[in-house]
Amino acid sequence: MIRRLGKRFMLHLDPPLLAGLGLLTLASLIVLYSASDQSWLQVGKQFLNILVAFGALWLVANMPLHYLLRSAVPMYVLGMALLVAVALFGEISHGARRWLNIGVATIQPSELMKIAVPLMMAWYFEKHEATLKLRNYFVAALLLLLPVALIARQPDLGTAVLIGASGFYVLFLAGLSWRVMGVLFAGALASAPFAWKYLLHDYQKHRILMLLDPTQDALGKGYHTIQGMIAVGSGGFLGKGYLNGTQTHLDFLPERTTDFIFAVYSEEFGLLGNLLLLALYLFVIARGFIITANASTYFTRLMAGSITLTFFTYAFVNMGMVSGILPVVGVPLPLISYGGTSMLTLALGFGMLMSIYTHKKLVKT
């Protein structure tokens, strides 16, 4: 009886992927304990975040695929409406207008768009699968650029870049021709000076400049990068040992439970720890690729591919930013950084991956 219940519970979950996610979230709790200066309270909250996220994952995984397909348009429309609302009435915090007060809580609509945008685009391609023309790619690109522009204007460059990437992956996997991509790339390069002058905020420019030479402003804008690099570099091969990171515990690392948690991990566990973490991420990503490759429909293939590649992008951008090869754009380390929203968004994505994998199997049998 219990075995049957357990089997039912596990029916739409993918054990390898689940194991990977479990290990990563376990790592999150361990690192957070150190990063938060051994605050059980914060670890407990993160544990709750993880529980909620896994609950959502289970729900989504058990959802039949057509539910997902059907939710694409309403979700996208709702997300766009909220983004416009944020632009008009959003609350300003730290110089950026990202939050919307809906009475009971403040929400960050850009977070919703991380799922809604690729979903919408995949839905659009699925709809026009039989008669795909260049025009369709153009429309899909528009579906992507509108929210990305709104989010970039908030300004939230990190999220804009990530959503832009997730949408681009959909376009890429949907077969956008190389020639168009070449033209787009050239266009992007050509418009870069324009973007630099008119689109980027001063602080964003600073962060990019600081990447080129962080020592220029060691106590100002370059501080994050320098302290992150010091933490990682001083970790060495084996690390300083759990709870022994001086950069971490003497307060030199900024945002060390969220965006810079990788520096904490890297300082205490060293290169060996980094290899282990990369291996874990690679395992999850590999599993995502397998699911993608075996997905049965156009929509699910695009969606699974985008989710997998976006997950990797999160990890890469965060680790690249902490180790000083990418500008500091405020992207959390997926599944490790403290925070419920990003954890939930990621879980929804993985829930979809599992749903795609398990429902396909059910269809086959």
Partner 1 sequence: MKRHVELKNHQREIYYFRMRLALGVGFVLAMLVILLGRFVYLQVVRHEYFSTMAENNRISVVPIVPNRGLILDRNGVVLAHNYSGYTLEITPSKVGDLEATINAIAQVVDIQPKDRKRFKKLLDESHDFESIPIRNRLSDEEVARFAAQRYRFPGVEIKARLFREYPLREDTSHLIGYIGRINDDDIQQLEDDDQLANYRGSDYIGKSGIEQSYEKQLHGTTGFEQVEVDAGGRGVRVLSRTPPVSGNSLQLTLDAKLQQIAVQAFGDYRGALVAIDPNNGEVLAFVSKPGFDPNLFIDGIDSDSWDALNNSPDVPLLNRILHGQYPPGSTIKPFIALAGLHYGTRSPSYAINDPGYFMLPGSSHQYRDWKKGGHGRVDMFRAIQQSCDTYFYGLANDMGIDNMHDFLAQFGFGKKTGIDMEGELSGLLPSEAWKQKRYNQKWYAGDTVSAGIGQGYDLVTPLQLAFATATLANDGVAYRPHLVREIEGVDGHGGQLVQPEAIDLHLKPEDVALVKRAMIAVTQPGGTAVSASAGAPYLIAGKTGTAQVVTIKQGEKYDASQLSERNRDHAWFIAFAPADKPKLALAVLVENGGHGGSTAAPIARKVFDYYLLGKVPKPLPPQQGTGEAEHD
Contacts with 185 (C-beta within 8 Å, 6 or more apart), sequence order: none
Report the nearest approach of partner 1 to the CB of residue 355 (Å): 19
What six digits make up the tokens of 320? 């690249």
Instruction: Please state, in angstroms and rounded to a whole number, the distance separating the CA atoms of residues 103 and 85.
Output: 14
Q: By the 8 A CB rule, do 237 and 273 touch? A: no
> Is position 50 an interface residue for partner 1 (rule: CB under 8 A)?
no
Q: In angstroms, what is the minimal distance from the CB of 251 to partner 1?
A: 4
Q: Which amino acid is at 251?
A: D
Residue 320 as a binder of partner 1 (CB under 8 A): the answer is yes
Residue of the chain from 11, 134, 243, 278 that contacts partner 1 (CB under 8 A):
278
Binding to partner 1 by CB under 8 A, coded x per residue (else -) over 243-262, reads ---xx--xxx----------
Binding window for partner 1 (CB under 8 A); candidates: 30-38, 90-98, 145-153, 287-295 = 287-295
Nearer to partner 1, 7 or 179 (CB): 179
- Residue of the chain from 73, 289, 339, 340 that contacts partner 1 (CB under 8 A): 289
Cβ atoms 8, 62 nearer than 8 A:
no
Interaction mask 105-124, partner 1, x per CB under 8 A? --------------------
Q: Check: CB of residue 154 under 8 Å from CB of residue 128.
A: no
Q: Of the ranges 104-112, 118-126, 284-292, 336-344, which one interacts with partner 1 (CB under 8 A)?
A: 284-292
Token pair for 76:
């996208």
Helix (H, G, I), strand (E, B) or coil at 10: helix
> Which long-range contacts link 179-185 to residues 24+ away (Cβ below 8 Å)?
180/134, 180/137
Give Dmax over CA atoms of the chain in angstroms.
Answer: 66
| Other Cβ atoms within 10 Å of 16 Cβ, number | 13
Euclidean distance between CA atoms 144 and 206, whole angstroms: 27
The residue among 319 and 354 lying less far from partner 1, judged by its C-beta, is 319
Interface with partner 1, residue 236, by CB under 8 A: yes
* Closer by beta carbon to partner 1, 76 or else 169: 169
Contact positions vs partner 1 (CB under 8 A): 130, 169, 172-173, 175, 227, 229-237, 246-247, 250-252, 266, 270-271, 274-275, 278, 282, 285, 289, 292-293, 298, 301, 305, 308-309, 312, 316, 319-320, 323-325
